[in-house]
Structure 1
Amino acid sequence: MMGYLNPLLRLPAARNLLRLPPEQRKAMVLVLRQLRDQANTEAEQAWRRRKGPMAAYWRAVSTYARHLAHALEQTDIDAAIAKGEE
């Protein structure tokens, strides 16, 4: 079993994102950070409206966006992929 600091890196598709050219990864990071901020705002609004399931949904969107952005910022792609392998 592989253990990663970022659980999304267990997925082949996520690892493929790390192989994109740096300029494409940087653009994706910017969009994902915006998505994270907007999803957090939606989560807070849903929580204030007592819409717990929607608040949880938006929190999950925010978390996945953050994890993907962090993964895309890795500079040593091979080390990021291999990190934590047993």
Structure 2
Amino acid sequence: MGYINPLLSLPAAQALLSLPAEDRARIEAVMRELRDQANQEAEKAWKKRKGPMAAYWRAVATYARHVAHALSVKASP
């Protein structure tokens, strides 16, 4: 992503990183799907001129991307 993911400094993110690789991969896939769906909702809201809902869905997409990226990082031994 080109920057230090702020989620990685949170204890809950560290707990996610301690999960087995298979579990992290499954959760990462769901988060990436959530990101895509949230982006679609943001576009629909924007086209309907519903700015606050578009912003909400963009935020959901951003958080989902941050979580997915955190899960893709190799867990430290």
> Which residue pairs with 1:70 in the alignment?
69
User: Under a length normalisation based on structure 2, what TM-score does the superposition of the two structures give?
Assistant: 0.91
User: Under a length normalisation based on structure 1, what TM-score does the superposition of the two structures give?
Assistant: 0.82
Structure 1, unpaired ranges of 5+: 80-86
The amino acid of 1:16's aligned partner reads A
Structure 2, unpaired ranges of 5+: none
Runs of 4+ in structure 1 deviating by more than 3 angstroms, as ranges, are none
TM-aligned CA deviation for residue 16 of structure 1: 0.7
The amino acid of 1:24's aligned partner reads D
Query: C-alpha distance in 2, partners of 1:26/1:78?
Result: 16
Query: C-alpha distance in 2, partners of 1:8/1:50?
Result: 31
TM-aligned CA deviation for residue 59 of structure 1: 0.3
Q: Secondary structure at the match of 2:4?
A: coil
TM-aligned CA deviation for residue 14 of structure 1: 1.1
Q: Percent identity?
A: 65
TM-aligned CA deviation for residue 78 of structure 1: 2.7
> Which residue pairs with 1:43 in the alignment?
42
Q: CA RMSD in A?
A: 1.5
TM-aligned CA deviation for residue 9 of structure 1: 1.3
The amino acid of 2:37's aligned partner reads Q
- Larger radius of gyration between Structure 1 and Structure 2: 1
